[in-house]
Amino acid sequence: MVEATQVDTSGCNAKQLKAAVKEGGKKGQDVAGVADLGGLDFFCTAIDSAEGDLTLLRAAMDAMNQECDETSEERRGGAGHVGKMLVSSSEKTAVALVCNVPEDKQDKLTAKEWIEYVAKQISAEVKFAEAGYAYAVMPYDPDNGRFPLKERDTAISHSTLLLRQKGYMPDDDSDSDEDFVFGDDDFPSEEAPAAASSPAAPAINLDGVAEKKLKAVRKEGGKKAQDVAGVADMGGLDFFCTAMIESAGNVDQLREQMEAMNQECDPEAEERRGGAGHVGKMLVSSEEKTAVALVCYVPEDKQAKLTAKEWIEYVAEQIKAEILYSSDGYAFAQMKYDPEAGRFPLKEKDVAISHSTLILRNKGFMPDDDSDDDELVFGDDDFPEF
């Protein structure tokens, strides 16, 4: 295993590097704020602008750890005291993982132990690992069922699970999964009586949204639909959960992204969009000082397995989100930023993704991840020893 050196960004695209460093620095402030207010020592979050590039993700980690300039108009960094795992992906490239644990927290969990556990879940290759710093990568490999869009969420899920299992993240106030051991009573019954018909969902309100912003929102939805459809078709998946960036915790914009994902794909178009209407989907979006938004859609032919109502009610319970509308085929909810109640969108977004994936795995709607925890029941042998 090679020795870790200072990140060499000379070969990086300047625009991409700037975006990754900016996101890392900004998210560093968010992570530091959540950690200081919530008393957290460890945290896992996604860095989207790194796009699965290990060098860009390491540069983002450096930006998170830099000393914060208190005199700066826009403060960045300041999260060097928090143990962090960063996850990034690009659908046709890779999932990248970078982990940093400060020395005063390594007696609780080392970067090496943390990354080795998460890397095992997605069959990633650990490139470097020591107590304080580690990184790994899982390349796109469709022949072996390795799709970065899916495995990124698996990585976030298991990274968070390890922290919760070890008591390093606070309980989410749910009684159903305190130790991540699920039983028949923890999930909606597939044989439950049909709910009464719901009123039509309210119209999507995009008043006041700038055309440039709306274009970016729709573009992300349509483009990611192609990725979701590809993963579902190649992997035989009926359900999927993924994060959206451009909607930034806004429910109406996230609903518009769901519409863009479900639109019919034009096979004649130079850049194909949409085409994922046959897949059951939960979309998650957040903005740190605003909200987490959830939008769920399940096509009629899959509602016998899991309805949008059942899916969103379970996930919303985990993050104390308010369900704004729900029916068998369509539902949406929102959890607003509430620091006094310990509700931080940066943290709860990943919790939502984690639990959305957990219910799918527990019901057998996502394939086995080749680990020894396919029922998500953990024992002493599943985690690193100290």
Domains for the chain: give ranges and CATH numbers: 14-165 (3.10.310.40), 184-192+202-362 (no CATH)
pLDDT tens profile 73-122? 677 889 999 999 999 999 889 999 999 999 999 999 999 999 999 999 99
The reported pTM is: 0.62
pLDDT tens profile 178-221? 333 334 444 444 444 444 456 789 999 999 999 999 999 999 99
Across 326-339, b (16+ Cβ under 10 Å) vs e yields bbbbbbbbbbebee
| Environment class of 270 (CB within 10 Å of its CB; exposed 0-12, middle 13-18, buried 19+) | exposed
The SS3 assignment for 264 reads coil
Mean pLDDT (the chain) is 84
319 in Cβ contact with 352 (< 8 Å): yes
Q: Give the mean model confidence (pLDDT) for residues 303-310.
A: 96
Of the two residues 330 and 386, the one the predictor is more confident about is: 330
